[in-house]
Structure 1
Amino acid sequence: MENLYVAQRSRAVLSCALDGPVDPSALSAAFEAVTAEQPQLLAHLVPDGDGHALELLPEAERPRLRTRTGSEEAYLEELNAPLTVGGPLTRAVLVSDPDEERHTLVLSIDHVITDGHSGIALLNTLWDRYREFLGGTGVPRPLAAEFPEPISALLPPSDAADTAEHLARRVEKTGRHPVALVPYDVEATEEAPEEHHRIEVQRLLLDTGATTGLRERARAEGLSVHALLCAALLLAARRRMDGADPRVLGCVSPVDLRSRLSPPVPAHLMVAAVTMHLQALPVGEDTDLLELAREVGDGMRDFLDRGDHFREMRIMPSAPRHPALHLGTVIVTNMGAVSGPRLPTGTRITDVRLVPAREHYFPQAGRSPFMACVTTFDGRLAIEFPHYTACFSRPFMSELRAEVHASLLALAKSAT
């Protein structure tokens, strides 16, 4: 299953903005210690039969912390710098302003070896090691001996006939209820070649009060925050389609498998440990947000109760032959409430972000899902909307972000 991520060319880009002193040599030593603990962080992809395998990079080619001087634009430059097949699967860059008073650490990790939870754990562990090296207690670590087993090898035993039946059922259902996609607002033309476009991000950020209010509203309604977010995003997508009648929209939610395996897989282990849940729902311009959220929540609960999260993992290798299996109008990733890094006294974190990025976009398709990456670092909920400017323009995504923001603030306000 993990071979799918090779062709997908997606990655997690984690970053933290800092005020105060940062010692590049201590941070470099910390990065080398952390990557030595898990050899997949020092690996590259090599051909293996019909797919790919991980192999350690030669010593001279292994990733090291890079430092550079730059401004806010440097973040977008790093966001747009790919991790190529055959090259390192990890990149760490410390960007400092000319006065070296403000810094941004940007950590890029190939989806082949990570999901959101392990990416966040790596970022936090890196700063834990930094404190050790800064305090004189850090020590270089010997390279771990073995690659971990892929998640697809850790699934519980299954019946081949059950898997085949699940695949047939899913293919039939997606064919019967194809989902509508949001049309691009940028026309693909030869006069605007793709090299003039790039990945950008629109960001929605709630303060701790609004985040608490949203949680309280969800609790009062017997819903999850994730279900509320999905409903708000589905309605925003529907308003960007023509016609007044309800349209079948799809909501894709990556589902964490770590805690659902036996034994559980720890968050720090660098593997991709997610499967996908696609729910197709009729959504009209006048659909009630709370009713839609209940449908989303009930659908997710039934999905897990049936054990379909394991079945979906088993049929994922069939996705290239059946692209509609996980084709949604919106893709909503959600890491839940997590803590950000802890830094030594004198250095303060001002922001933490997780943004997914891909290397391949297809403006010629004319429409596609849009992605919303949800994180709640230290009590503040954020939604990142990455987009490729040859598909969705900055004004288009800015308006969408503002609309979803207003919906969430209204929900949070009503809770109080």
Structure 2
Amino acid sequence: MDPPAIIGCGVSLNGPLDIAALTEAFGALRREFPDIAGRIEKADDGFDLVVDGPGKPAAELTRQFHQEIEKGVAADLDIGETLTALDVLTEGEDRHLAILRYSHTIADGTRATFLLFRLWSLYTQVVKDGSPDEIEARPVPASPEQALAERGIVKGPSSGEERLAGTRWHGAVPAVEDLPEGELRALRKRVVVEGDLLNLRAIAKKLGCSAYGLVTAALVIAERGAFADVPDDEPVPLGLVSTVDARFKLSPPIAPADVTNCVSTLYKRLDLTRDSSLVDVARQLSDQLRDDVASGLIQQTVLQPDPSPGQGPAVAVNYFGDLPSPELPDGLTADLIESVFEFDLSLLRAVVAMLPPGSPPPIPVGVSYYTGTFANKFGIEALNLPGLVPEQVVDGILERAIALLKSAAA
């Protein structure tokens, strides 16, 4: 049974790494959170999460590859057997990328990051003390429907997705012959800035907006600049799909590990020229988020399906703010957190082959941006399916977004 999407939460490390100790820590993590050692089984009315024991040994689910990290490695995770696995890519002696792979059925980005950090806390205990502290199994986390129902929130008529009607996109549907063979994997582009943008909250506060609004505004304005065939002063309607962690917008709030998925979505149409005001757009987005939380719409989107493909795929921005560094033993340091997405998109190849010329892309979002601060560096990571947006265009978007943010910080 192949999962529809395997997501990875990875940390880039420098220093000596004890793979045996890491494997032991991974086993402890699976004992502490039994659901991640569970599996998915088909049922009459869909699929069930089955948690009935320790699952496969951690040693069978931990792989180490000695290779160039940038080459990556394909996930090997069958949700009919387990819902998590651990891959470690080692380049040279002391450069590593450790990826906690998981099925989206049991974790969103917030929970996965929590689990990743807990893994390294357990690893540090093993390295220092020979074994982790006594592990007590935690309850299986609630589903988003359960968590919201306990707070009196049920599915309503709207998620706000209708705001995206009539929006445009600068990318294109690739020709079938231009798509790579096998599974399609997201192309990654990353830009990291040290120093200038480490105090985004204070910068945004001074400008009368939120850090979320400021970063997101820079990215959507930079995306507007990619419409090379449109005059700079002509407004273009762009769609924005922006994730918001609803855990902390609920009353009472929910702890990161106590619900599987609780990411909500802000939908926004923005009519932008190439030189739209960064501050004005940032304030619009900050106000929209505040209004959607107050009205309950943000909480509603947790219960709504993913956005549907529209006239133009939306810009997707995921701002995670300031992440602390994980607990690590002496001599080992972390310098980067990254998202790893792998989809079996064989269906996309078949759909593209059937599309009439000029048809809108059969996907809801174009480039997805993941951005925030970690290890004293601000970074933006862009993920883009092959053939949709040329790499040089993505490079230009990232360059302009950083320039806009640096201008705001000056």
Q: Is TM-score (shorter-chain normalized) higher than 0.5? A: yes
Contact 1:10 1:356 (C-alpha < 8 Å) held by counterparts = no
TM-score by length of 1: 0.83
Distance 2:267 2:3 in 1: 18
**Structure 1 unaligned spans of 5+:** 1-5
**2:125 aligned residue:** 132
**Out of 8, 28, 33, which is 2:28 matched to?**
33
Paired residue secondary structure (1:354): strand
**2:356 aligned residue:** none
**2:298 aligned residue:** 309
1:77 equivalent to 2:73? Answer yes
Flag the 1:311–1:251 CA change in 2: closer, same or farther, 3 A. Answer: same
Map 1:245-260 onto structure 2 (within 5 A): 245-260=234-249
1:190 equivalent to 2:190? Answer no
Contact 1:29 1:140 (C-alpha < 8 Å) held by counterparts = no
Aligned length: 390
Distance 2:311 2:7 in 1: 19
**1:372 aligned residue:** 369
**1:108 aligned residue:** 101
CA-to-aligned-CA distance 1:180-224 (integer Å, 9 cap, x gap): 12313x731426544386422111212134322x43331111111
CA-to-aligned-CA distance 1:126-181 (integer Å, 9 cap, x gap): 11111111122524866837522212211122477xx23x46xx47x448x33212
CA-to-aligned-CA distance 1:317-350 (integer Å, 9 cap, x gap): 4x5xx7269986211112111202121112233x
1:232 equivalent to 2:218? Answer yes
Distance 1:8 1:301 in 2: 35
**1:43 aligned residue:** 38
Map 1:16-415 onto structure 2 (within 5 A): 16-56=11-51, 61=56, 63=58, 64-74=61-71, 76-78=72-74, 81=75, 83-98=77-92, 100-136=93-129, 138-139=131-132, 144=137, 146-155=139-148, 156-158=151-153, 163-164=156-157, 166=158, 170=160, 173-174=162-163, 177-184=165-172, 187-190=174-177, 192-195=179-182, 198-212=185-199, 214-241=200-227, 242-244=229-231, 245-269=234-258, 271-314=260-303, 316-317=304-305, 319=306, 323=308, 329-349=314-334, 351-361=335-345, 362=348, 364=352, 367=361, 368-412=365-409, 414=410
Paired residue secondary structure (1:331): strand
Contact 1:40 1:113 (C-alpha < 8 Å) held by counterparts = yes
**Structure 2 unaligned spans of 5+:** 353-358
TM-score by length of 2: 0.84
Paired residue secondary structure (2:129): coil
Distance 1:134 1:141 in 2: 15
Greater helix fraction, Structure 1 or Structure 2 = 1
Flag the 1:102–1:287 CA change in 2: closer, same or farther, 3 A. Answer: closer
Distance 2:138 2:205 in 1: 46
Paired residue secondary structure (2:216): helix
CA-to-aligned-CA distance 1:26-49 (integer Å, 9 cap, x gap): 111111001111122112222233
Identity of aligned residues (%): 24
Instruction: Return the letter of the residue paired with 1:138.
Output: S
Instruction: Return the letter of the residue paired with 1:310.
Output: Q
Q: CA RMSD in A?
A: 3.1
